[in-house]
Structure 1
Amino acid sequence: MGLLDEARELSIYTAYNTNVDAIVYLKEETVQGLINEFGAETIQRRMEEYPRQINEPLDFVARLVHALKTGKPMEVPLINEELHMWFDSHFKYDVERMGGQAGIIANLLANLNFRKVLVYTPHLAKKQAAMFVNKPNLFYPVIEDGRLIFKHPYEAYRDGDPVKVNRIFEFRAGMTFKLGSETVTVPFSGRFIVSARFESIRIYTEPGLKPFLPEIGESVDGVILSGYQGIKPRYSDGKDANHYLREAKKDILLLKREKDVKVHLEFASIQNRELRKKVIYNLFPLVDSVGMDESEIAHVLNALGYSKLSDRIFTYNRIEDTVLGGKILIDEMNLEVLQIHTIYYIVYITHADNPLSEEKLRQSLGLATNLAAARASLGEIRSPEDFKVGLSVPYNERGEYVKLRFEEAKRRLRTKEYRVVIIPTRLVKNPVSTVGLGDTISAGAFTSYLALLRRKGEL
């Protein structure tokens, strides 16, 4: 019985964020058209200002061109609801599909035929509900006559709920365009996400469902929580981030009340440093596992006061700095396991008393990169059979270099009190899509970690 088969025996609860991803595969002429419309000089001036949110179309164009020049995936919040019209008039969406970490993970695990997948999102409009896969193992919690029952999300939608639309602009390495006198060639494939951050979208558990969280926690083998990046510092009704974080803490404690179910938090970039700090200090100490990418660990370390280390990770992206940052994080937050995924490698950092050996942790990461490679190759994983596609994808060309750098890092850093395991990623040369790859890695890693704990009798 393979590790994926063992993981598929598990039941998982995932919450909170779902949205509709409207995807545009960018073409050179589209980018050039935007530059011509707004003017190269105007765009360059706004790029220097580096707007951290999108309030008008020029903010969007400036940050998009910056992302294309660096070839780095980026996400910038859209705060002006009225811009929906501008985007819809300027772009034809190539694909509309499930977005949001909780939604992507729920569909992935349901398609892999996990025993039971419970997904919760506080906003479930008809359009959103239709994005969930039609699988008999996928459920949404509903309270009827004071009792907790489970329905397929499509049978549970509510008229009048808001829909969150994130617009994703996928770009390919090698695209070229002119910015004034400069010819820009995009160095890496990636994506630029315009994420809707509106008043109407909140991250919380409805009051009617909250008392049933202990029952949900008791009925599953693991919990994956995400979407905290959607919390705003304050709202027009007087509520603020502190209110929603207090409620988020209660949710985790309620899920763990009847049994100490393992909880994984999938961290995503939070632009506001104070808000980032609040999420870290409030929630990390309550969960067992955290997943993030290398730019997110740099953001986290910056919020914890390690600004020099954070800058080094941003600037040089060295393995030893990422590992050092990971050691700091699992110590300060007393995490059981931290998983960091980058384009070239995935790493687990745990304390030395973790029940799983380095070899077992390596197996878990292997499953995670295989799943992501399958998703990148196919665009979507629709059945357990699709997993095999990932096995034929080679490890990236920097794989040997990654291993060498890691051995050097281990010699330089004191790692006796830790288990640090790294594997190169399987890298798809021309991915069908890059959306959801980090979520796929984290879901694969966490569920296989749980399966290995269960095999040892530790779950």
Structure 2
Amino acid sequence: AVASISDIPTDIPIHLELASMTDQDFMSNIVHQQVFPLVNSIGLNEQELLFLTQSASGPHASLASWSGVPDVGIVSDILFWLLKEHGKTAERASDLTRIHFHTLAYHILVTVDGHGGNQVAAVAAGARAAGTQACATETIDTTKVFLKAPLEFVTSQIEAPAKISLNPDEPVVHWHREGVSFHFTPVLVCKDPVRTVGLGDAISAEGLLYSEVYPQ
């Protein structure tokens, strides 16, 4: 995989969509053996995020499983660690500048400052795709969806956190942490899902469609 990715011209952005895994050594190899530094963007869900931090001894690695809706502060800590440890910096030869995290109740788009753009539209588009794809509708049908996201949350469980309350008029929330930007949006969850196969792919693809991977 590393050899194939290395053959792609450097001006073509590469997105890696993770999937469920059970082999921690394999996951650790993906993180450490030159796969993450070769891609510009990663997409993953809560199970993959937790397995990743357990495999690579990241923050909250002792957490065995999620209880209900994944805690936003814990998710934020792990995403921050991924970009700080494996993302692009002035000292590190890595192309990784973007992570699109998606879980049932909410999405978070995390980017290294100075890379990418249009994050508000991108994360909102991914959340919209989740509702329409799962319900098999062209647009969001408010009679078929419900809100499951926390209306209040803290942005970290490690550092001094900020407490955020959702505003329905501006559902995409932004915060910043040491050169990393976070964009959070709730998802209108389909009550009776019709199509769930490939949902993560559809979410990430829609987000990428609206993203500006390189500064304009």
How does the TM-score come out when normalised to structure 2? 0.78
Q: 1:442 to 1:393 in 2, by over 3 A?
A: farther
CA distance in 1 between partners of 2:83 and 2:143 (Å): 32
Which residue, 21, 26, 29 being the options, matches 1:278?
A: 29
Q: Aligned residues, how many?
A: 191
1:23-422 superposed matches below 5 A: 248-256=1-9, 259-282=10-33, 283-306=35-58, 309-312=60-63, 314-316=65-67, 317-334=70-87, 335-356=96-117, 360-378=118-136, 388-390=138-140, 392=142, 396-399=146-149, 401-402=150-151, 404-406=152-154, 412=161, 415-422=177-184
Q: Secondary structure at the match of 1:255?
A: coil
User: CA deviation digits over 1:114-164, x for unaligned, max 9?
Assistant: xxxxxxxxxxxxxxxxxxxxxxxxxxxxxxxxxxxxxxxxxxxxxxxxxxx
CA contact 2:131–2:188 (8 Å) conserved in 1: yes
Give how far 1:389 is off. 2.0
User: CA deviation digits over 1:56-94, x for unaligned, max 9?
Assistant: xxxxxxxxxxxxxxxxxxxxxxxxxxxxxxxxxxxxxxx
CA distance in 2 between partners of 1:314 and 1:325 (Å): 14
Q: Which amino acid aligns with 2:53?
A: L
CA contact 2:19–2:44 (8 Å) conserved in 1: yes
Q: 1:394 to 1:368 in 2, by over 3 A?
A: farther
Q: 1:435 to 1:364 in 2, by over 3 A?
A: same
Q: Larger radius of gyration, structure 1 or 2?
A: 1
Give how far 1:336 is off. 0.5
CA contact 2:74–2:156 (8 Å) conserved in 1: no
Q: 1:437 to 1:393 in 2, by over 3 A?
A: farther
CA contact 2:100–2:109 (8 Å) conserved in 1: yes
Identity %, equivalent residues: 20
CA contact 1:291–1:442 (8 Å) conserved in 2: yes
Which consecutive unaligned segments of at least 5 residues does structure 2 have?
88-95, 163-175
Q: Secondary structure at the match of 2:21?
A: coil
CA distance in 2 between partners of 1:350 and 1:313 (Å): 27
Q: Secondary structure at the match of 1:305?
A: coil
Give how far 1:398 is off. 3.0
Tell me how large the CA RMSD over aligned residues is. 2.6
More helix by share: 1
1:119 — aligned with what?
Answer: none
Give how far 1:372 is off. 2.2
CA distance in 1 between partners of 2:193 and 2:30 (Å): 32
